[in-house]
Amino acid sequence: MFKLYYSPGSCALASHIALEEAGGDYEAIRINFGAEEQRAPEYLAINPKGRVPALVTEKGILTETPAILLFIAQSYPQAGLAPLDDIFKLARLQAFNSYLCSTVHVAHAHGGRGHRWADDPAAIADMKRKVPETVGACFELIESEMFEGPWVMGETYSLCDPYLYTIARWLKSDMVDKAKLPKTMAHMERMEARPAVKTVLENQFDS
């Protein structure tokens, strides 16, 4: 059985949804960021980065969402969450998820975690003011150049979909004009109609 460490509303939601979609044998363990459990010695022994997600497997511990997502797809190939038999399509999937991880998530983090990059309060405030513009530009690029529809990669649901959904949930707090992102908003509705997504949201936010 896998153990997934998560915090509600974090990027770990993508891995949680993927495990549920795959029908995986897993236990979801909540880390309370409000109580700073991510900095507790017990959790740092699992993930020294002090962040989520972390996935404990029989072979060791994985961190970073793109890596965990691909591991889930490869562990449950029957779920069809990635084009494992087409190296180019798989690379395109990884390119999309890498963009979410390295660019979109970082742009979002400038809003609430500017202290990672600066100490000057004015600089931190300036980063926060920039978030609606930078995150908005990321999503406009996704809509115009990356999103094929009805799912990210086209007709087939994949690992890209729970990851995009997870980060799109932050658009409101990032003060991005969602009216400019019709494809993303329609995608969110499709995601929230999926039984696995409903189950995970209930488990993360209603428990």
User: Domain segments of the chain: what residues?
Assistant: 2-80+197-205, 87-194
User: Which CATH code for domain 87-194?
Assistant: 1.20.1050.10
Give yes or no for a contact between 27 and 1, defined as CB atoms under 8 angstroms apart: yes
List 26's β-bridge partners, or say none: 2
Reduced 3-state DSSP string for the chain: CEEEEECCCCCHHHHHHHHHHHCCCEEEEECCCCCCHHHCHHHHCCCCCCCCCEEEECCEEEECHHHHHHHHHHHCHHHCCCCCCCHHHHHHHHHHHHHHHHHHHHHHHHHHCHHHCCCCHHHHHHHHHHHHHHHHHHHHHHHHHHCCCCECCECCCCCHHHHHHHHHCCCCCCCCCHHHCHHHHHHHHHHHCCHHHHHHHHHHHCC
pTM of the entire predicted model:
0.96
Contact 191, 167 (CB under 8 A): no
Report the pLDDT value the prediction gives residue 205, as an integer from 0 to 100: 81
Provide the residue-wise pLDDT of the chain in tens; the chain has 207 residues: 999 999 999 999 999 999 999 999 999 999 999 899 999 999 999 999 999 999 999 999 999 999 999 999 999 999 999 999 999 999 999 999 999 999 999 999 999 999 999 999 999 999 999 999 999 999 999 999 999 999 999 999 999 999 999 999 999 999 999 999 999 999 999 999 999 999 999 988 865
User: What's domain 2-80+197-205's superfamily in CATH?
Assistant: Glutaredoxin (3.40.30.10)
Instruction: Encode pLDDT of 155-191 as tens digits.
Output: 999 999 999 999 999 999 999 999 999 999 999 999 9
- What's residue 207's pLDDT? 52
